[in-house]
Chain A
Amino acid sequence: MSLPYYHVNVFTGIKSCRVMEDPQPLAKVLKKAERPLMVFGPKCNEVNLDGKLLMEYGVEIAKTLGAAVCATANTKKKLLELGVTPDSTYDAVEIVNHLKDPNWKGVKKQGNHDFVLFLGVRPDLGNQGLSTLKHFATHLKTVTLCKYVFPNATFSLPNLKDDKWKEYLENLIQGLKS
């Protein structure tokens, strides 16, 4: 595992994420998910990758994958503007709290999710929430699609510059479509 970009997320433990340098194997893993959930954090409202809002990448990934959508923080408004009605609206810690329970019915009431994708959650809060899931939700897998290493996720992107991140997300979408 690479050192996380932000030192506040430096890992102190044994079980850390698998860094997915190449988006294609990640796409393959994601496609196996039965009930994926995409969690949108507030950076999705703010980050613009060469003219395209981060949230738009997330929406495209969620649609391609058929993932349910959870809006956290203040992302619901922007999602609605993009024509996406989220399946649920929670604070980040609230959705994590639900996900812990293997018997939870999930945001679509069809059963708990087996794979949770996170995009745009604040790095320290994100890694803390992923820590909860790593310890207390062994029934699911997690992946972060932000441009940094998140040690507590199951799968994480490497530390990337914006241009490489954009390229990664585009390739991931292609991989999911193929």
Chain B
Amino acid sequence: MSKGAVKQKEINKTIRAEDNWEPIGPTPMPEMSDLRRWDLRLMKTYKPFYAPFCDLCCFCTYGKCDLTEDKKGACGINISGQQGRWGLIFSLMGCSAHGAHGRHLIDYLIEKYGEDYKIDLGGQVDVEAPHMRTVMGLKPETLGDLRKGIEYVERGIIHGVSATHMGQEGSDIDFESKSLHIGMLDHVAMEVADIAQTIGFKFPTSKAETALSGLGWGAVDKTKPVVTCVGHNAAVATVMIDHLMKAGIYDQVEVTGICCTAHDNIRYSDKAKVIGPLSKQVFFLKTGIADLVMSDEQCVRCDIPQLAKESGSALIATSDKISYGLDDVTHKEVDEIVRLITQEGKQVLIRDVDKAGEVAAKVLPVVAKNRKKELVTKEKAQELAQACKKCELCDRVCPNFLNISTAVSDVKEGKFDMMTSVFARCVGCGKCEQECSKDIPIIKIMQAAASWDTYNIRVGRGPIQDVEIRKVGAPIVLGTIPGIIAIVGCSNYPEEIEEVAEIAEEFAKRKYIVVLSGCAAMAAGMKKDAEGKTIYDKYKPDFDAGGVLNVGSCVANAHITGAAMKVANIFAKLPLRANYEVIADYILNRVGAVGLVWGSYSQKAFAIGTGCNRLGIPVVLGPHSAKYRRLYLSRKEEDDWTVMDGRKKELVNTEEPSPEHLMVVTESKERAIITLARLCIRKNDTAQGRQIKLNHYISLYKQYMGSLPDDLQNFVRNDKDIPIVYKKEVSEYLKTVGWKPKPLLTLPTFIGTYESNIPIDAVVK
């Protein structure tokens, strides 16, 4: 529906149109199809690639319908449309998870501080909310303004969900456009959520060098009472920490966390500890080290009550998104709830943040008193493994194709090396145990094979500072800082968890900017060098060449994409306000930023990646992600790489596939590394910048592939682009493939290559 006067008035009111911090751009608070032409332009080059996970559609009572090849379902949908629909559903699920998280935080904080509570991210962050500014056109000043952001996202989600209903959208391309829209909203939701918790819980901000915090299950002092928070919402944990402090017992207990709540706990108190990523959830809970488990939301296992019961841990569920069928005791008095947990051993649901935090602080020392915590020894593990008949059922259900049966058989004989290797690759699903006909507690056996080392993680720092952007803006756009590598997402890793640290270090030592978040930020800290140092000990935490920084939890991902927007705004002076298309075009063509989601498993990761794509940031995924069913790929030799030269206003066929893909799966660490280096190349690179980028690309390719890259001819525009150290070799190669110089342009843009209301001058500053 086009916007009428009433709707326009409503938008103007929401974004305070009269505020003149920047002129209002063409798309304030865009609706589902307002940026559709941008999406179609993206998909002209980066076409959806579908890999159906299932050939059937089972959505409605017409079905099941077989959609194999060119067959249509009873409603008329085909296999491409169905995959597009799945993509939209995944984006919606991910965006909803972040949006509902943000909504909960904001409602809680508004109750506590009022809607006029000011946003203050410190003296170094003036562009506080680049996503809200760019997408909505609103410069948020208060918690009430953040609520407007969530309300806008919620409206988009309803529209998106409606399109997935049987008999609505049928075109794969339009499902994708909607998916991209929801991905964009996801970044708004994440930004809102992280700003809310940063100001509400007083997390560090405007500070690069945050503290180092303990990381790893080995870092936990199990002689103390241990509470483990699982999930993504730290509201209850902050209240609990306050109560523990007030009671004077905070130093006598261990506050630990798994997944993103752990990130936010250490942002609140660097004495808290991070157990590790999601993949270690079952492993850790089965150790019984946690006296009290507190679940909140997102990335929490569905069988936590069972796991807690099995380990003798108390359980408090704190979110109505995950109620587990437990008794809701929210209405009861604190002391009564404490009694129910400590004396009757009840697992409970408490939906009130303050009450749940107070109960947890009171329960923890009591439940810890009578518990014995004994890890499985090597002798015990050997005994437990004796029943193994090597039937291989465990191998067959392993989603990571691990040779578990051999590892268990080895343990039977007192050999643990294989099990150590399996543990390093284990994604923690527990299916092996479930399948075992002899009921061998395989995950428990891993306790005897796992490393119990202690690591460090840099406390999440939230937004990138404006002053940092001022410093690196030019080198990033010119290419002399070869790229920003954002390593984010979950822990469904294809191989050893250590690969994350290895990839991060490969780029940090080459002076890329390495930004981490979520479970990836944890995994990156779980490898030590010969001197016992993690990458957080070794590399500076600045957003600068060679820096390794952790922005924080899942919702802090918005600060990474926000940094790319800030480059366009602070360095290139492009207005953000309601100017999404121009900003995304700038990032796609001129900011060498690439995301890596090596262990993605969740729909949130899909939504984040899709949001990155609409903003012009390519994303590399690990092999598990082929099961998302959709990628955005180009075909470098066949596709049209024509862009507009913004200064000359001429179309130029650059013949240069940069960036080559928007979303691509790679199968091995080595391939991921060279793909990341290649995807940092942008048409805007100066000759010096291109030399630096090609130097790394060639060096990495030779290291991992044993030859010069066989697509080098695509990225050398003229002789000046050739790195000096490879000059002779590259020149000879180029001769053999009949390379010819390519046109140079200083202001590449998609604007002007498709029908759009944006004038080309909008990208020239």
Residues of A within 8 A of B (CB): 5-8, 12-15, 41-42, 72-74, 76-77, 80-81, 88-89, 91-94, 96-98, 101, 104, 121-125, 128-129, 131-132, 134-136, 138
Contact = CB atoms under 8 A, between A and B. Distances in A.
A93 B56 contact: no
B707 A124 contact: no
Given A96-B51, A97-B635, 10 more contacts: A12-B53, A12-B56, A42-B667, A73-B670, A74-B705, A76-B707, A93-B49, A93-B665, A97-B633, A135-B79
Contacts of B624: 124
Nearest to B51: A128
Given A93-B631, A128-B627, A80 B707 contact: yes
Contacts of B633: 93-94, 97
Interface of B: 49-56, 66, 68-69, 79, 396-399, 401, 494, 623-624, 626-627, 629, 631, 633, 635, 638, 664-668, 670-671, 675, 704-707, 710
A132 B668 contact: no
B706 A73 contact: no
Contact of B666 (A91, A129, A135): A91
A81 B346 CA distance: 63
A122 B401 contact: yes
Contacts of B396: 5-7
Nearest to B54: A12
B54 A7 contact: no
A124 B629 CA distance: 12
B49 A98 contact: no
B52 A92 contact: no
Contacts of B50: 132, 135-136
Q: Which 5 A-B pairs have the closest CB atoms?
A: A13-B55, A77-B706, A74-B670, A128-B626, A128-B51
Nearest to B628: A128
A72 B667 contact: yes
Contact of A122 (B68, B398, B623): B623
A132 B631 CA distance: 12
Given A14-B55, A128-B626, A91 B68 contact: no
A86 to B, nearest CB: 9
Contacts of A98: 635
Given A129-B626, A131-B52, A132-B49, A92 B667 contact: yes
28 contacts: A6-B396, A6-B401, A12-B53, A14-B55, A15-B69, A72-B667, A73-B667, A73-B668, A74-B705, A76-B706, A76-B707, A80-B706, A93-B631, A98-B635, A104-B638, A121-B667, A122-B623, A124-B623, A124-B626, A125-B626, A128-B51, A128-B53, A129-B51, A131-B52, A132-B52, A135-B50, A136-B50, A138-B69
A101 B666 CA distance: 21
Contacts of A94: 633, 664
A89 B710 contact: yes
B710 to A, nearest CB: 5
A87 to B, nearest CB: 10
Contacts of B79: 135
B52 A74 contact: no
Contacts of A125: 623, 626, 665, 667
Most buried by B among A92, A94, A138: A94
B69 to A, nearest CB: 6
A42 B68 contact: no
Given A92-B667, A124-B624, A77 B704 contact: yes
